[in-house]
Chains A and B, each alone.
Chain A
Amino acid sequence: MPVPIIQLRNVAFDFENTRALSDINIDIARGEFIAVIGPNGGGKTTLMRLILGLLTPTEGEVRIFGERPGTNPDRIGYVPQHSNTSPGFPASVEQVVLMGLAQGNSLFGKRRGIRYTREERAQAEHAMRRAGVSDLGKRRLNELSGGQRQRVLIARALITQPELLILDEPLSNIDPYGRQCILETLTGLDAQTTVVMVSHDLGITANAVTGIIAVNRFALASSGAQLTPAMLDLMYGIHEAGCPVHSLLQQMVETMPSENKLTQTQGKTASGCGHDTH
């Protein structure tokens, strides 16, 4: 049985004397497309930051590709919430994508200095094509829509051709067309690329995911794209019929597919999103 590329064993995390995550045991295999869902403040982003090595667990162990998180940044692509970036920053789309090459592990490494090599620019061009933003290279971020900006950040994460892509709410505040383009980009990636995505919008991701992890201080994982009653209980508590929350939860279950469906969009450039999956 292949070793999972993400392994969390008995992980707990405390934030200012409050236990934010407890008893987390998760395995994610290569090639999976995982949606991480849960209520606000439930620990989804904390879980992502533990996987990335931006936080150290209070208890337990996190292993990424069998190593400590942060050991090999080129194998992991990260797309933070786009609200963390400033659209007015003096940089073109190409320059933002090239920032994905900056790496601090070696003080005297090759990737230093102001000028980028031809190979580095070719890497950026390839990443921009995969994300469907190759025609925006010279434009500044504040000239782009929210969806376009998010795809630029995805291109930045893809420039090192990572084996694992982690996205924190990439679809929030994006219009439906932009969401569709982003999802096409993600589902069109190489089948060996593992995607872990925090998303509130389970409906739109339903046809793309191969697994779901529900997080609300604890975590429950499903083996397929199935939202189980236990997951709903964990995230939102038990609500009786007649309660407005109960009908909302029913709707969430009904939007999930009855079977595990993965829409294969590899090689297609539908919807005019303009991305290249190769």
Chain B
Amino acid sequence: MTLTELLQQNFMQHALLASLLVSVTCGVIGALIVVNRLTFMAGGIAHTAYGGVGLAFFLGAPVLPTAGAFTAGAAMLLGTLTLKKRERTDTLIGVIWAAGMAFGIIMINLTPGYNVGLMSYLFGSILTVPASDLWLMLGIDVVIVSLTLYFYRDILSFSFDPDFARSRGIPVQWLYFMILIMVAEAVVMMIQVVGLILVIALLTLPPYLAERHTKSLAGLMVASGIWSFVFCLGGLWVAYQFDLSSGASIIATACTFYLAVAGGQTLWNLMRRQEKTAA
């Protein structure tokens, strides 16, 4: 099949649209995760989403909306616990992380029949995204982008200095919970693309790359979104060329880019230092 023929296929058009929609959310939420140092928290939320997937299978309910509600609830619980016990944040995240996955596995065990498609939630299946899920992704994008734009100054102030933000009357706890819920919905959206095991990589690698060449939080969000889309396209191409898993190919593409840029920058700095020493 030629590339042109491939691009005319319905599943590939859905995959490209899913990549675009997910990249918008990755840009916004990934930037917030990195600047607020919520990477481990986001990982915990991502793995807890499996509990929602299991619950959906058990109840015979649509997977993404059920997982979305379940994960948002888990995010609120995590937020409440970590605010009360700041010194035990990593322990609490680890507990909820494992408990969420265990709950999901038990729910699936209790679901009669053979549950096809479970692996797609763990490792992604961007090539099988239905139109209904694309509309859901669009809805999540609109909500996340609208909230971020409207509360941008509050989010910026809170992310930089929560103490000062509180002194300005900004409801920092409310913002914290809002960000965690947005992370939860972003994660559920991305399960389709890279699976919940690899979600955290697509959320964090684009901002890590983008922060080298951006000077504002808004710029970081836009650049992260662009990098995320590049990785999705590159990963899809690699998966097509070598008949590999699409989710893993996307993450492998992202990691390769990151190592190349980081390695290149280190080499460049070394060369400049040697030039200065020689001079």
Contact assessment for B167 and A90 in the assembled complex, using a CB-CB cutoff below 8 Å? no
B99 at the interface (CB under 8 A from A): no
SS class, residues of chain B in contact with chain A: helix
Q: Is the CB of A104 within 8 A of B163?
A: no
Chain B interface size, under 10 / 10 to 19 / 20 to 34 / 35 or more: 20 to 34
Contact residues of A between 59 and 89, Cβ < 8 Å to B: 70, 73, 76, 78, 80, 84-86, 88-89
CB-CB contacts below 8 Å: A85-134 with B? 85-86, 88-92, 95-96, 99-105, 111-114
The contact of A85 among B156, B160, B166, B167, by CB within 8 Å, is B160
6 contacts between A and B (CB under 8 A): A80-B164, A84-B161, A85-B161, A90-B220, A111-B153, A114-B218
Name which residue of chain B comes closest to A111, CB basis: B153
Contact A91 B164 (CB under 8 A): no
A89 contacts B35, C-beta separation under 8 Å:
yes
Given the complex, which residues of A lie within 8 Å of B171, measured CB to CB? 104
- With A101-B153, A102-B157, A104-B154 known as contacts, the answer to whether A78 contacts B170 (CB < 8 A) is no
- Name the distance in Å between A84's Cβ and chain B's nearest Cβ: 6
Given A84-B161, A89-B35, A90-B35: A102 touches B215 (CB 8 Å cut-off) = no
Instruction: Tell me, rounded to whole Å, the shortest Cβ–Cβ distance linking B246 to chain A.
Output: 31
Residue interface mask A205-243, B partner, CB < 8 A = 1: 000000000000000000000000000000000000000
Cβ contact within 8 Å between A99 and B156: yes
Known contacts: A89-B160, A90-B220. The answer to whether A76 contacts B167 by CB under 8 A is yes
Q: Is the CB of A103 within 8 A of B152?
A: no
Interface check A52, CB cutoff 8 A: yes
A140 CB within 8 Å of chain B = yes
Determine the distance from Cα of A54 to Cα of B156 in the docked complex, in whole angstroms: 19
In-complex Cβ contact of B153 among A89, A105, A112, A156 (8 A): A112
Which residue of chain A lies nearest to B155 when distances are taken between CB atoms in the complex?
A102
Q: Pick the 5 closest A-B CB pairs, nearest first.
A: A104-B170, A102-B157, A102-B153, A78-B167, A105-B169
The residue of chain A having its C-beta at the shortest distance from the C-beta of B166 within the complex is: A54
Residues of B within 8 A of A90 (CB): 35, 211, 214-217, 219-220
Cβ–Cβ contact A54 & B170, under 8 A: no
Q: Is B165 an interface residue (CB 8 A)?
A: yes
Q: Are B167 and A99 in contact (CB-based, < 8 A)?
A: no
Given contact pairs A78-B163, A84-B163, A156-B164, enumerate 20 new A-B contacts (beta carbons under 8 Å).
A78-B167, A85-B161, A86-B160, A89-B159, A90-B215, A90-B217, A90-B219, A91-B156, A92-B215, A96-B160, A100-B168, A101-B153, A102-B153, A102-B154, A102-B165, A105-B169, A111-B153, A112-B150, A113-B153, A114-B153
Residues of A within 8 A of B164 (CB): 78, 80, 99, 156
Contacts of B216 in A (CB 8 A): 90-92, 95
> Closest Cβ of chain A: how far from B243's Cβ, in Å?
39
B159 to chain A: closest residue by CB: A89
* Chain A residues close to B by CB (< 8 Å): 52-54, 70, 73, 76, 78, 80, 84-86, 88-92, 95-96, 99-105, 111-114, 138, 140, 156
Instruction: Report the separation of the CA atoms of residues A114 and B25 in the bound assembly, to the nearest whole angstrom.
Output: 18
In the complex, residue of chain B having the shortest beta-carbon distance to the beta carbon of A82: B161
CB of B149 within 8 A of chain A?
yes
Residues on B with beta carbons closer than 8 Å to the beta carbon of A73: 167-169
**Other-chain contact of B168, A89, A91, A103, A140 (Cβ < 8 Å):** A103
A79 to B272, CA, bound (A): 38
CB distance from B37 to the nearest CB of A (A): 8
CB < 8 Å neighbour of A80 from B152, B156, B161: B161
CA distance A244 to B160 in the complex (A): 42
Is B160 in contact with A104, judged by CB distance below 8 angstroms? no
Write out the residue numbers on chain A whose beta carbons fall within 8 Å of the beta carbon of B35: 86, 89-90
Contacting pair A102 B161 (CB below 8 A): no
Q: Contact check: which of B156, B159, B169, B214 meets A103 at CB < 8 Å?
A: B169
Measured CA separation A139–B163 after assembly (Å) = 23
Output the least CB separation between A62 and chain B (Å): 14
- Min CB distance, B167 to chain A, in Å? 4
Residue on A nearest B151 in the bound complex, by CB: A112
Residues of B within 8 A of A91 (CB): 156, 160, 215-217
Which residue from chain B places its CB closest to the CB of A96 in the assembled complex?
A: B160
Contacts of B153 in A (CB 8 A): 99, 101-102, 111-114
In the complex, residue of chain A having the shortest beta-carbon distance to the beta carbon of B174: A104
**Chain A residues whose C-beta falls within 8 Å of the C-beta of B149 in the assembled complex:** 113-114
How far apart sit A95 and B155, CA to CA, in the bound complex (Å)?
13
